[in-house]
């Protein structure tokens, strides 16, 4: 196979990258410079959920899989983009939105909730995103889906009133990806999604570099 197109789905990590309230803010600074040391090295201070990232089950489940327990197959596979654009601040993605896509889902499918909210990254509105209703998650879990990505800060309500989607997905030893970007650029069917985490044994999550690939 030949790669026909590749779309970067990753939010850049900088000091301005939005983080969930209370999470560590990214800090990137020189640790060595060419002028002083003859080479460059940077010091990175990040949370495990900085930028485009994966939540491992251990994030919400004390006895859930840690990052290194999750099969790498969870982080790559055929994607289905759920069109949830047009949602208002704090509005749910409902079964009415998801129903046309449910029959297409099967074990190994990676679900991409396209809210369009990544366009607001760096603004206050980014923190008032849409979310996914629990019954949508339940229906997808029943189809065998275990990988759920969203182009927003959080898959659950922005006011922190509930973390039911996290509880359902991570409780089933699934994974969640948040702060994805550029879902609008996936203009082809059956994108192959790759979003591999760092190798962080025992950890609850990790930043990822995520792409959508179109094969010729």
* Active-site entry in 53, 59, 114, 129: 59
- The C-alpha angle with vertex 53 and arms to 176 and 66, in degrees rounded to 5, equals 65
Could you give the CA distance from residue 67 to residue 24 in angstroms, rounded to a whole number? 19
* 53: nearest Cα among 214, 210, 211, 212: 210
Query: Residue 183, CB half-sphere, CA atoms under 13 Å: how many?
Result: 24
Tokens describing residue 88:
């208002």
63 is an active site residue: no
Could you give the CA distance from residue 156 to residue 206 in angstroms, rounded to a whole number? 19
- The C-alpha angle with vertex 26 and arms to 23 and 28, in degrees rounded to 5, equals 160
**Which SS3 state, helix, strand or coil, does residue 99 take?**
helix
Residues marked as catalytic: 59
């Amino acid at each position: 196979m030949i790669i026909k197109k590749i779309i970067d789905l990753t939010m850049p990590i900088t000091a301005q990258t939005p983080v969930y309230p209370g999470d560590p803010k990214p800090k990137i600074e020189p640790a060595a410079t060419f002028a002083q040391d003859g080479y460059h090295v940077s010091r990175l201070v990040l949370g495990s959920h900085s930028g485009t990232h994966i939540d491992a089950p251990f994030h919400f489940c004390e006895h859930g899989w840690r990052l290194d327990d999750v099969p790498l197959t969870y982080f790559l596979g055929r994607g289905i983009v759920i069109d949830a654009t047009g949602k208002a601040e704090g509005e749910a993605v409902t079964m009415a939105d998801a129903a046309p896509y449910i029959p297409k889902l099967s074990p190994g499918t990676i679900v991409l909730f396209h809210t369009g909210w990544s366009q607001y990254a760096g603004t206050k509105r980014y923190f008032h995103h849409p979310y996914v209703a629990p019954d949508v998650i339940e229906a997808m879990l029943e189809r065998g889906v275990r990988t759920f990505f969203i182009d927003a800060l959080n898959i659950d309500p922005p006011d922190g009133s509930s973390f039911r989607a996290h509880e359902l997905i991570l409780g089933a030893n699934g994974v969640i990806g948040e702060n994805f970007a550029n879902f609008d650029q996936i203009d082809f069917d059956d994108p192959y999604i790759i979003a591999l985490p760092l190798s962080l044994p025992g950890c609850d999550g990790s930043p990822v570099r995520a792409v959508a690939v179109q094969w010729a």
